[in-house]
Structure 1
């Protein structure tokens, strides 16, 4: 499967955006939608979530570009930002596609890609994510009646699976809601409530 519009929009909405080089929350130089330029240098830490609050000066950007032989400097083009986003999400898409699962809906796939993009592929091996993915009633191709208890179990498993990184509760709740989109169960238990 490929990343859908819902997943791409969710990731972009939480990554922030700037065509100019900026410091991420650790201070690593970043551009576009969270495209990491290098971990070898740090600049102003972004503490607000707004890339404009930690922009590198043009002199810093030019020096960084020159020292790393990037072939581009700040600001980048919108086309370059789109290319970086596609490249950066490709690893998360590959990680989710490599799972041996029954078929996922596009929303389920997108939610898992967003979680993986942000948390790294190891998040798919966590106990809670595995428990959710092992529950056959989670999948759209599950045939048969689903009891109220099973629907409740689905909701609980989703909540636990997306309870990854307490600092990102808003993002995780949106991912869990996206995962449940179009399913008979809902995301009625916010992350970290169980």
Structure 2
């Protein structure tokens, strides 16, 4: 069965790592962002968020109003909770579409685990050599029939670890994604990301 929608586990993981603020703030590159990591534009930059806490890089109300006006956004800072929810749904839909384009039979946990880094880093994450190697290994899927040998279980664990070793600054998030990917499988995430 092909999973096509983000599950509760994936949404919870993404939201817990993105954090939410209803006020405009600069992301790690200084790009204005709002809600759960909703990028407003890459045409302007502000204070870079180096702490992981959006409140350390909030735009002033004057900056937010000027940005909103210059881009004809139709909204300014702070946004409503409803608008944040809409942005989250729209933004995760893009990541869900990218994972669905793989046309592979994932478990819900595997699907959610792949949507998270795709949401965070864009669809190019799915094109990395390590992710491609993991996806090419048929034993990784819930549709694989037959028992896994000890060597195959170890190979699955290694492939998952390498595939989720993307963006070292987000190591805790990547570990949680890899753990979610392994949920309910015979293999586990015994190799921490970035160790292979």
Report the alpha carbon displacement of residue 131 of structure 1 after superposing the two structures with TM: 1.1
Residue in 2 aligned with 1:119? Answer: 121
Match of residue 110 from structure 1: 112
**Partner of residue 59 from structure 2, selected from 50, 56, 77:** 56
Match of 1:45 among 39, 42, 48: 48
SS of residue matched to 1:88: helix
Structure 1 unpaired stretches of 5+:
none
Q: Aligned partners of 2:176 and 2:65: how far apart in 1?
A: 37
Q: Distance in 2 between matches of 1:58 and 1:167?
A: 30
What is the aligned counterpart of 2:68 among 62, 65, 68? Answer: 65
**Structure 2 residue 98 is matched with structure 1 residue 89:** no
**SS at 2:22 equivalent:** strand
Give the structure 2 partner of residue 190 of structure 1.
192
CA displacement 1:57-78 (0-9 Å, x = unmatched): 1111111111111111111010
4+ aligned runs moved over 2 Å, structure 1: none
Measure the CA separation in 2 of the matches of 1:83 and 1:180. Answer: 30
Match of 1:170 in 2: 172
TM-score, normalization: structure 1? 0.96
**Aligned-partner SS, 1:112:** helix
Aligned residues: 193
Question: Are residues 1:12 and 2:37 paired?
Answer: no
Distance 2:60 2:38 in 1: 18
TM-score w.r.t. length of structure 2: 0.95
CA distance in 1, matches of 2:30, 2:121: 18
Structure 2 stretches of 5 or more lacking a match?
none
Question: How far is 1:168 from its partner?
Answer: 1.5
Q: CA deviation at 1:100?
A: 3.0
Q: Aligned-residue CA RMSD in angstroms? A: 1.0
1-side partners of 2:27 and 2:130: how far apart?
Answer: 28
